[in-house]
Amino acid sequence: MRICSTTSISIFVLALSICSGTSWAQTAATPRDLTRAAEMNLDVKLMFPSPVPDRIILNLTAEPETSVAVNWRTDTTVQQGVIEVARSTDGTQFTKQLRQINATTQYLRTRHEQEPAVSANYHSAVINGLTPGSVYVYRVGFGKGWSEWFQFKMPESTKGRALSFLYFGDAQNDVKSHWSRVIREAYKKMPEVSFMLHAGDLINRHDHDIEWGEWFQAGSFIHASVPSVMTPGNHEYRNVKLSPHWRPQYNLPQNGPKGLEETCYQVNYHDLKVISLDAEQIDESPYYAQKQAQWLDSILTNDPRRWTVLTIHYPFYSTKPNRENVELRNRFKPILDKHKVDIVLQGHDHAYGRGMVSNTPSGQNRRAQLSGTMYVVSVAGPKMYDLSDDPWMFRKAGNSQMFQIITIQDNQLLYNAYTATGELYDSFILEKKQGKANTLVDKTPNTPEKR
């Protein structure tokens, strides 16, 4: 909604006050805030909260087969939050068997010199005790302000059942305009995924509330129906300070090194471990770099899960000319090689590339003595960089918004990369053999590389 005059703003303020039953002395946004936002051509409906929940999102927990985390936002007149949840039914019978879960509430006021201030209450809770493979419905709210009902399915935990997820590189710029079609095309291509993975730089400016609002609008109900897991990128940071929105609006595991809660963590399925490393804290802090390296080695030692997926924003091997992350490779790649990590999902370089490399951190002989670890760099948003001809890439693309669907079942990992139009652009299978490096089965379509 775009408001372009003071008269229109007054009508909007009055209407919202009447609908919410509150006065503007009580609400988060003042008429002055709304006027300034309109003068800056900001979408006030995305920016300022109301008593009705918005920015609703599911997140993975550390035990994703039996629980899910929920977060949402309201204005500051709403001091409490509640989740109502039940096992789904064919009709509305579920409303007679609701379970209520009280949320914790956190106040957040953000103000950037280029934007009006935004005050909001963020509510979060975890739904525990869920049955693998079952379908549930839930809504969030309190008093007279409630969301619609959302439906989600818990993943199967039975041995041999397939598990699929979506992977997105950087959204970052023009998110509402251009990333929206990518996430929606991905959902249309395969709605029955267990989660979505975001490899950092979800937005461009870490403390601009309107950008976070556009990220939520781009995903719309998908965020509230499919759990997400995300690793922070450099644009979620400024001067090594994490976005003030990150922890209030997401509810991610806190099982990583102390001080890196909800940025460095692990998620454990029956046959899959998903790991997030905080790239910015590796790049900027020798202390946290060492802490993450020690933690990574410890959680991969004697781990019973068959597959390991690691996500980190900065790439081990770049798609951009003359860009290298040598210190990252020197510190972490020996750990990945030692434990035979299967696939590393990255962002940052705003192009697409994937390939295997040797077991030497220097990156020499990048196609010799392949380690079995697949490295992927991808971009989902519209911002693009030049593409190098580095030999580590088996398949690459420039100037292409991409999304990926990854399916794991028994001893196979199937990877499919699609362009924003839904065209299959890259594909391979990793086959696991006990005690040996993964075998690569290349299924790349016979189409020209995009430059």
Considering its fold, how many domains does the chain have in total?
Answer: 2
Range of 16's domain?
Answer: 6-153
pLDDT computed for residue 366 by the predictor = 56
pLDDT computed for residue 360 by the predictor = 58
CA-CA distance, 342 to 186, in Å (whole number)? 23
CA-CA distance, 375 to 363, in Å (whole number)? 12
pLDDT computed for residue 19 by the predictor = 43
What's 345's domain CATH number?
3.60.21.10
Write the pLDDT tens digit of every residue in 367-376.
545 667 999 9
Do 362 and 323 share a structural domain?
Answer: yes
pLDDT computed for residue 28 by the predictor = 56
pLDDT computed for residue 8 by the predictor = 44
pLDDT computed for residue 39 by the predictor = 78
CA 185 from centre of chain: 16
Do 317 and 229 share a structural domain?
Answer: yes
Do 264 and 387 share a structural domain?
Answer: yes
Do 145 and 13 share a structural domain?
Answer: yes
pLDDT computed for residue 432 by the predictor = 93
Low-confidence ranges of the chain (pLDDT < 70): 1-28, 158, 359-371
Do 366 and 304 share a structural domain?
Answer: yes
pLDDT computed for residue 32 by the predictor = 79
Do 31 and 113 share a structural domain?
Answer: yes
What is the per-residue burial (b if ≥16 Cβ within 10 Å, else e) of 21-35?
ebebeebbbbeebbb
Do 206 and 264 share a structural domain?
Answer: yes
CA-CA distance, 390 to 314, in Å (whole number)? 17
Q: Are strands 237-238 and 228-230 parallel, antiparallel or unpaired?
A: unpaired
CA-CA distance, 139 to 225, in Å (whole number)? 11
Q: Cα-flanking dihedrals φ and ψ of residue 328, to 5°?
A: -60, -45
Rounded to the nearest 5 degrees, what angle is found at the Cα of 22, between the Cα atoms of 18 and 27?
Answer: 115
